[in-house]
Amino acid sequence: MADDLLKKDLITHKIYSSWQFVEYTEKNIATVHYCADTINNIISKMTMKTVRWQQDIASDFIDDVTENGKKVKRLSVTTENAPTYEVRVAGEKVDPWFLFDKLLRDFFQYTMNAFDSISQIINAGLLEIKLIYCRKCFMCIEERRQQMKLTDMTIEEMCTTTEKQSFDRKSAKIEATAIATPMIAFANADGGLLAVGIEDNGEITGIDDYTKNINEILRAGYDFCQPFIFIEKETIDCIDKNGNANHILLIKVPQSADMHVNHRDEAFLRVGDRSKKLTFDERMELMYSKGMRFYEDEPVYRSTLDDIDMEFVAKYCEKIGYGKTPEEYIRQNKDYIVSVAGRQEMSGAAIMMFGKDPQRFFPRSRVRFIRYEGTEAKVGAEMNVIKDKMFQGRILDLVEQTIEYVRTQIKEHTYLGPDARFVTEPEYPEFAWKEIIVNAIAHRDYSIKGTDIQIKMFDDHITVESPGTLPGTVRLKYA
């Protein structure tokens, strides 16, 4: 039926099929060839007669002298002496120049017609596949719509699924200030989906009778969240508990790189099926994990400039090419000295980088190396630890000491190479395990005070454990 309508539409608007335009193009090109061949023939005849004429009058040149006394040859030709051309078409004499001009015009005209016909082939072809294209577009739009769905959950699953880390359902009667709480909790955690219009017990009440409140709910991310939370929304059809057609509002809250609070400066974090209100320390930990603040920049309680090893700072300044005194280097770096209630305290970074005794303030900022016999760790009567070494000091000291010691624990294998020379290679590539150790020390979470960095070596592998979580919004599934 649709195909017939398309054909009728083409006929009504006098739009020809692409095959008709192919035929027209062939005719136009044939005419172009005819014009070109005729023009070439006329030019050929004119050239031949002109050459013969030049040969006939070659002896008519006469010697002469210019005013400067230069000898030249002159030839005087009148129109009576010039060659004539005569063209007859169907026995009738035709002006050759008129014919030549006409052929040239036709040549260009039919060439343009040919190009125009080719364009029409394309246009007609596009019109002829209009229906197929529309069908494909519909399929693409439907596929895109499916991709843009906020969830693959069915309405039944939304009603029966237990609320969890990434899903919560709310009544359409909920106040906008109240729905800001799960929004903030989702944004501060890993994101999540809110289904508005479903009661806590799973009954569908819908949103159609609460238009004003729904509008306020949609503004909650802007009105009651600081900084504001950008949301995605989708409305889906449903049948409510009374058997009437209704709708459910889906709100998708993305994971955020910021820490969000409500209008009362309260922060929440999604933990399981609850939106947990955070304490001050928990808020600080969240800000550290999101990279909004850094624990190393915080002042270290009761630390002073006397806790800095100025000799070590001097060596460091020499390495980096700093020309002033060590104390000037510390004071000019705003991150190293922090003013607290009128007194100056050193930052965590200053103590860990240049402190005389960093472990006095950060007791677990150490690296522990454990060597096991076998391929797994055992405890109790079967304990298989054969080496247990602890390293402490400044961060640069930790890096140097740890790398130097681990190098002594890695086996080397010697074999005869293809060039008949002995080759010695370590069990593990040095660049790989060195980078792992440096990253573990540099990127550990120093706000975690309960454990050290641990390097565990087994007969067939090495593991490195550094306290802390992945930074910001990074998750293992994206790593």
User: Helices in 170-232 by DSSP H: which ranges?
Assistant: 176-188, 211-218, 220-223
**Do 100 and 42 contact (CB within 8 A), yes or no?**
yes
Domain presence at residue 159: yes
Domain presence at residue 354: yes
**Whether residue 209 has pLDDT greater than 60:** yes
Mean pLDDT for the stretch of residues 397-408: 95
How much is the pLDDT for 195?
94
Mean pLDDT lowest for which of 14-28, 37-51, 316-330?
Answer: 14-28
How much is the pLDDT for 60?
53
329 in the same domain as 214: no
**Whether residue 214 has pLDDT greater than 80:** yes
265 in the same domain as 170: yes
90 in the same domain as 17: yes
Mean pLDDT for the stretch of residues 294-315: 90
118 in the same domain as 103: yes
**Whether residue 122 has pLDDT greater than 70:** no
Tell me which amino acid residue 93 is. Answer: K
326 in the same domain as 399: no
**Do 241 and 231 contact (CB within 8 A), yes or no?**
no
**Do 160 and 186 contact (CB within 8 A), yes or no?**
no
**Do 262 and 181 contact (CB within 8 A), yes or no?**
yes
Mean pLDDT for the stretch of residues 157-172: 92
Mark which of 289, 317, 334 sits at the end of a domain: 289
- Say how far residue 419 (Cα) sits from the centre of its chain: 47
Task: Count CB atoms within 10 A of the CB of residue 310.
Answer: 17
- How far CA 356 is from CA of 126, 182, 244, 338, 359, in Å, comes to 79, 47, 75, 18, 9
Domain presence at residue 136: no
- How far CA 361 is from CA of 296, 300, 333, 393, in Å, comes to 12, 8, 21, 11
186 in the same domain as 215: yes
How much is the pLDDT for 73?
61
How much is the pLDDT for 57?
46
**Do 167 and 192 contact (CB within 8 A), yes or no?**
yes
How many domains in the chain?
A: 4
Q: State how beta strands 92-94 and 87-89 pair.
A: antiparallel
281 in the same domain as 164: yes
Cα-Cα-Cα-Cα dihedral sign, residues 149, 154, 159, 165: negative
**Do 452 and 359 contact (CB within 8 A), yes or no?**
no
Domain presence at residue 49: yes
3-state percent breakdown (helix, strand, coil) of the chain, nearest 5: 45, 20, 35
**Residue 396: pLDDT band with limits 50, 70, 90:** very high
**Residue 192: pLDDT band with limits 50, 70, 90:** very high
282 in the same domain as 160: yes
Q: What is the distance between the alpha carbons of residues 50 and 44, in angstroms, rounded to a whole number?
A: 10
How much is the pLDDT for 167?
94
Q: What is the distance between the alpha carbons of residues 105 and 364, in angstroms, rounded to a whole number?
A: 94
Q: What percent of the chain has pLDDT over 70?
A: 72
Mark which of 249, 269, 289 sits at the end of a domain: 289
**Residue 335: pLDDT band with limits 50, 70, 90:** confident
Q: What percent of the chain has pLDDT over 90?
A: 45
Mark which of 270, 289, 308 sits at the end of a domain: 289
Domain presence at residue 294: no
Mean pLDDT for the stretch of residues 334-361: 88
Task: Count CB atoms within 10 A of the CB of residue 418.
Answer: 6
Q: State how beta strands 268-271 and 274-277 pair.
A: antiparallel
**Residue 23: pLDDT band with limits 50, 70, 90:** low
Domain presence at residue 149: no
Domain presence at residue 356: yes
Q: What is the distance between the alpha carbons of residues 115 and 108, in angstroms, rounded to a whole number?
A: 11
188 in the same domain as 250: yes
- Tell me the pLDDT of the chain averaged across its residues: 80
**Residue 98: pLDDT band with limits 50, 70, 90:** low
379 in the same domain as 336: no
376 in the same domain as 355: no
User: Domain residues for 409?
Assistant: 367-478
Domain presence at residue 182: yes
Mean pLDDT lowest for which of 124-128, 293-297, 341-345, 349-353?
Answer: 124-128
474 in the same domain as 388: yes
